[in-house]
Amino acid sequence: MNEKELPEQLRDDNLSEETKTLISSLPSTKDFIGKLYNYQGCWYYPNTLQGVLNFQKGFKPQETDIIIASYPKSGTTWLKALTVALLERLKDISSSDALHPLQSDNPHGIVPFLEFGLYLKSSTPDLTKFSSPRLFSTHMPLHTLQIPFEDSPCKIVYVCRDVKDVLVSQWYFRCAYLQKELDKRLLESLFESLCNGVGYFGPFWEHVLSYWRGSLEYPKHVLFMRYEEMKSDPAVQVKRLAEFLGCPFTEEEEEEESGSVDKILELCSLRSLSSMEINKTGSKYDVHHSNYFRKGEVGDSKNHLTHEMENKINMIIEEKYKGSGFKY
Ligand code: A3P
């Protein structure tokens, strides 16, 4: 796959002169896709870095904004769908024939990314089509969002996932959009990058810790969710999410025969989303919609990583999270 065919956010053909000068002074590394640059402690491909800079220059949070945050392949699509479904149930839908938004667009179309979506090309994108609450998403670590929580009540929901499953999910995803067969060398390369802390939006540990600490410091603004808990106890987690977003389930809703919670979970299940026509066709961010859905299992990494790989990751995790209070 040549440079032109890479998703735009991974390329380097959209840089301002200012950014070209900046990146010439930044630490850099290379992986099988291209060059990554470290800015404010996080690694980005060049066009994404341009988007980060545009975002930092132009984004003004509004009181009611909701931002879905994650390290890539941690369950972003699912969390976006759940958030949309929770908010959508509050709307007075006059025509019951109307399609649910999740049936008309992929969750990434409804909840766009800030740095490599809206702000990729401009620091002043047109946000007028977003009605309150505006729903956005990001893969940037918390500190780089530069949101002054003291002045802005906007809310951030972060989803964290076992890094070993993230790694395997990334491998499948990248092979799919690079149109390559599953190649173990690619998995090994991703593993090395992860362990060296140089992956896209990494280091992974710093990413998680930025939101973990944020959730402790600003519990009204940052909700820390875990993919594994969403899988094992979805009803509890979706209620927790609804509470945090300020739209808890009412007693009537809880008492409904075919309960609202169950309906939302069913609508947003991997089976349901992946079988919707909209998710079988089309693409977003140069990625086919279907690539956002795979197995969605906890512990799939066991089928692909060697014991040595698992042990090395476990050792790094222990060291990196020591003293933080964060545990898997
Ligand atoms: P796997 O590759 O392990 O199957 P992201 O949305 O952050 O890109 O993460 C993608 C991962 O979430 C993939 O994991 C995908 O299958 C899983 N996923 C997508 N939609 C899901 C859903 N509705 N429920 C559970 N997991 C989902």
Return the pLDDT at 93: 55
- 136-191 pLDDT tens trace: 999 999 999 999 988 888 999 999 999 999 999 999 999 987 777 888 999 999 99
Tokens of 323: 């003293």
Determine if ligand 1 sits within 6 Å of the CB of residue 285: no
Mutate to test the pocket of ligand 1, among 169, 187, 269, 276 (most ligand atoms within 8 A of CB): 169
pLDDT tens digits for range 234-268: 999 999 999 999 999 998 888 776 679 999 999 99
Crossing angle of the two packed helices 204-217 and 307-321, in degrees rounded to 10: 40
pTM: 0.96
Q: How far is 287 from 132, CA to CA, in rounded Å?
A: 28
Count of other CB atoms within 10 angstroms of residue 42: 23
Q: For ligand 1, what atom is nearest to the CA of residue 74? A: 7
Q: What is the mean pLDDT of the chain?
A: 93
The neighbour count for residue 252, using CB atoms within 10 Å, is 8
- Degrees to nearest 5, angle at CA 76 with 73 and 80: 165
Is 270's C-beta closer than 6 angstroms to any atom of ligand 1?
yes
Kindly give, in sequence order, each residue whose CB lies less than 8 Å from that of residue 71, ignoring residues fewer than 6 positions away.
139, 160, 161, 166, 201, 202, 204, 207, 208
- Is 79's pLDDT higher than 60? yes
Q: Could you tell me what percent of the chain has a pLDDT over 90? A: 83
Residue 2 confidence (pLDDT) above 60: no
Any residues with CB less than 8 A from the CB of 9 and at least 6 apart, and which? 45, 47, 48, 51, 116, 120, 285, 286
The predicted pLDDT at position 28 comes to: 98
pLDDT digits (tens, 9 = 90+) for 264-288: 999 999 999 999 999 999 888 888 8
Distance 152 CA to ligand 1 centre (A): 31
| Average pLDDT of span 207-215 | 98
* Ligand 1 contact via 70 beta carbon (within 6 Å): yes
Bond prior to 248 in cis (omega within 30° of 0)? no
Could you tell me if the CB of 304 is within 6 A of ligand 1? no
Choose, from 139, 207, 221, 289, the residue flagged as catalytic: 139
| pLDDT given for residue 125 in this prediction | 98
Positive or negative, the CA dihedral 16, 21, 22, 23 is positive
pLDDT digits (tens, 9 = 90+) for 95-108: 566 889 999 999 99
Q: Is 59 left (phi over 0), alpha (psi -120 to 50) or beta?
A: beta
The Cα–Cα gap between 149 and 29 comes to 33
Residues found in the chain: 328
* 292 C-beta closer than 6 A to ligand 1: yes
20 alpha carbon to ligand 1 midpoint, in Å? 35
Cα–Cα dist 171/184, whole Å: 9
pLDDT value, residue 299: 97
Say if ligand 1 is within 6 A of residue 75 CB: yes
CA of 23 to the centre of ligand 1 (A): 33
Substitution candidate for ligand 1 out of 73, 76, 159, 174 with most atoms within 8 A of CB? 73
- Asked if residues 212 and 142 have their Cβ atoms less than 8 Å apart, the reply is no
Distance CA 87, CA 130 (A): 14
Domain architecture of the chain: domains with CATH: 3-249+258-321 (3.40.50.300)
Confidence at residue 286, expressed as pLDDT on a 0 to 100 scale: 81
Q: SS3 for 162?
A: coil
Distance CA 217, CA 219 (A): 6
* pLDDT greater than 60 at residue 4: no
Q: How far apart are CA 223 and CA 288, in angstroms?
A: 29
Q: Which residues are bridge partners to 113 per DSSP?
A: 137
Per DSSP, the residues of 253-290 read HHHSTT-HHHHHHHHTSHHHHHHSHHHHS-EETTEEGG
Nearest CA to ligand 1 atom 19: 293
E strands, 97-249, are: 135-138, 155-160, 222-226
Distance CA 151, CA 60 (A): 11
For residue 293, the CA-to-ligand 1 centroid distance in Å is 5
* Ligand 1 atom nearest to CA at 293: 16
Q: Please determine, for residue 5, whether its predicted confidence score (pLDDT) is greater than 80.
A: no
Beta bridge partners of 35: 30
* 139 belongs to the catalytic site: yes
Cβ 268 under 6 angstroms from ligand 1: yes
- Average pLDDT value for residue range 220-241: 98
In angstroms, what is the span from residue 75 Cα to ligand 1's centroid? Answer: 5
Do residues 276 and 270 touch, judged by C-beta distance below 8 A?
Answer: no
